[in-house]
């Protein structure tokens, strides 16, 4: 069975985590609730994003350009994260024999066969950190929220290794810095912002984006799977 990068460090992390928070039924239920209930995590991030976008003041255009650059960074980061998946992959901890015994019996064997990287962390960490130029306090709060209510629960129940989360954070930071300094990204962001609201399509796309961000892109995932089944892709 293929193991993750830094396998020993990952294993030690799980041992330390479960010493600090023993894997009881109550703890498992709590972390599973955080994953299952987007109102406790992802919808908070979506609403903060929405509030900054719709705020009308003297800095509305500049703020929307920053938010649009963040969206560009998000698209780039997700695209880059998909490139190594055919070659860099490993099963989730709760489906990997060396780690499986660490988790409650009902969680064993329930993970995916390719959990690298943590896309939930990648998406919401990018949004949270992308708010830094606008409001550092909100950005810091949402980064902590992402780690505590999105990343940690998925690690705790065995859906991801710590290295999956760290890799996502690293990729997010690198892409955000690159996009913030790339003139082509700035030009694209300004063009998109200037065209927003001139047609109903732009408004509908923005509302759909906000809803999917809050729901963890579950709707898009279902549609994507349906298309793959229709086209008979693996």
The CA distance from 108 to 91, in Å, is 12
Average pLDDT, the chain: 90
Please report which helix (H) or strand (E) contains residue 18, including its range: helix 7-20
Task: Specify whether the CB–CB gap between 59 and 85 falls below 8 A.
Answer: no
Confidence at 200, pLDDT banded by 50, 70, 90:
low
Judge whether residue 158 has pLDDT over 60: yes
Judge whether residue 198 has pLDDT over 80: no
- Listed residue (31, 13, 150) closest to 4, CA to CA: 13
CA dihedral 86, 91, 97, 103 (to 10 degrees): 170
b (16+ CB within 10 A) / e for 208-228: ebbebbbebbeeeeeeeeeee
* Tokens standing for residue 53: 């976008």
Confidence at 202, pLDDT banded by 50, 70, 90:
low
Judge whether residue 89 has pLDDT over 80: yes
Judge whether residue 191 has pLDDT over 90: no
- Report CA-CA distances (Å) from 148 to 144, 151, 193: 6, 6, 32
pLDDT digits 0-9 by tens, 18-63:
999 999 999 999 999 999 999 999 999 999 999 999 898 888 899 9
């Amino acid at each position: 069975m293929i193991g993750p990068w830094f396998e020993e460090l990952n294993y030690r992390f799980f041992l330390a985590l479960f010493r600090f928070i023993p894997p009881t039924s109550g703890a498992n239920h709590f972390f599973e609730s955080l994953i299952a209930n987007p109102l406790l995590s992802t919808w908070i991030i979506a609403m903060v994003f929405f509030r900054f976008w719709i705020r009308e003041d003297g800095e509305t255009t500049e703020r929307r350009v920053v938010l649009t650059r963040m969206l560009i960074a998000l698209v780039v980061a997700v695209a880059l994260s998909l490139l190594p998946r055919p070659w860099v992959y490993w099963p989730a901890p709760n489906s990997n024999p060396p780690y499986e015994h660490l988790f409650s019996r009902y969680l064993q064997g329930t993970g995916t066969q390719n959990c690298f990287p943590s896309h939930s962390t990648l998406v919401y960490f990018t949004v949270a950190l992308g708010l830094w130029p606008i409001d550092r306090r909100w950005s810091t709060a949402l980064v902590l929220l992402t780690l505590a209510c999105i990343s940690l629960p998925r690690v705790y129940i065995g859906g991801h290794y710590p290295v999956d989360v760290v890799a996502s954070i690293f990729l997010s930071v690198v892409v955000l810095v690159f996009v913030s300094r790339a003139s082509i990204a700035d030009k694209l962001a300004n063009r998109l912002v200037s065209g927003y609201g001139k047609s109903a399509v732009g408004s509908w796309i923005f509302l759909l984006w906000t809803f999917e961000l809050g729901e963890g892109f579950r709707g898009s995932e279902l549609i994507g799977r349906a298309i793959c089944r229709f086209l008979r892709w693996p």
